[in-house]
Chain A
């Protein structure tokens, strides 16, 4: 079974500052990793995914994440945030074989202020 830990429930940051949202996972098998974003009253939108290959993954809206197998981490970063990035961010993991249900972390609320 897999599990995901998002260490920060809320991250406040000023506009144009860099941000890192942390995600650690646990799994006994090979996994795929994802970051989703949820804006208020919206569904989940995929930001980026790691399936294989380069450990640095670039996604939409200027976000990127780095897969670190030894530390079982998949932290999300953005060099300069905007007010519009205020949202809930979810890290998720799925087995790379089998039925690939997503196991989500508890989410991190990113609050960007002017």
Chain B
């Protein structure tokens, strides 16, 4: 158990819908990262937050957004979902930038 909790574990939804994925980082970790794992794109960095502030953006679509709340948990919002958004979404956390990142078990999103 990495200490990073992601909910839900599985999510099935229809095209055009909006979903929210939630991540609770390890106790004391200030940095949260979101990654997408798909068969065609592999593991792709989406976005990073540090202590509530956005710090880095990767290949994140405009339909996707994220935030980190004062209690340090983070949410990834995916809207206007398409079939191609089906993937495993991972959250990772680290104490601070540059230290080891611990990954959650992921949320498997299936868009039908």
Could you tell me how many residues of chain A have their Cβ less than 8 Å away from some Cβ of chain B? 22
Once the chains are docked, how many angstroms separate the CA of A21 from the CA of B15? 39
Interface contact B42-A99, CB-CB below 8 Å = no
- The CB with the most chain A CB atoms within 10 A, among B42, B43, B92, B100, is that of B43
User: Which residues of the other chain, B, contact A105 by a CB distance below 8 angstroms?
Assistant: 42
Once the chains are docked, how many angstroms separate the CA of A41 from the CA of B50? 28
Neighbour of A43 across the interface among B2, B33, B42, B56, CB < 8 A: B2
Chain A binding site: helix, strand, loop or mixed by DSSP? loop
- Interface size bracket, B side: 20 to 34
Q: Measuring CB to CB, which residues of chain A are less than 8 angstroms from any residue of chain B?
A: 32, 36, 42-46, 49, 90, 94, 96-107
Chain B binding site: helix, strand, loop or mixed by DSSP? strand
Interface contact B42-A100, CB-CB below 8 Å = no
Interface contact B90-A44, CB-CB below 8 Å = yes
Once the chains are docked, how many angstroms separate the CA of A102 from the CA of B35? 9
Question: B64 at interface (Cβ–Cβ under 8 A)?
Answer: no
Question: B101 at interface (Cβ–Cβ under 8 A)?
Answer: yes
Interface contact A49-B42, CB-CB below 8 Å = no
CB proximity of A29 to chain B, nearest CB, Å: 13
Residue in B closest to A105 when the chains form the complex, CB atoms: B42
Once the chains are docked, how many angstroms separate the CA of A8 from the CA of B100? 26
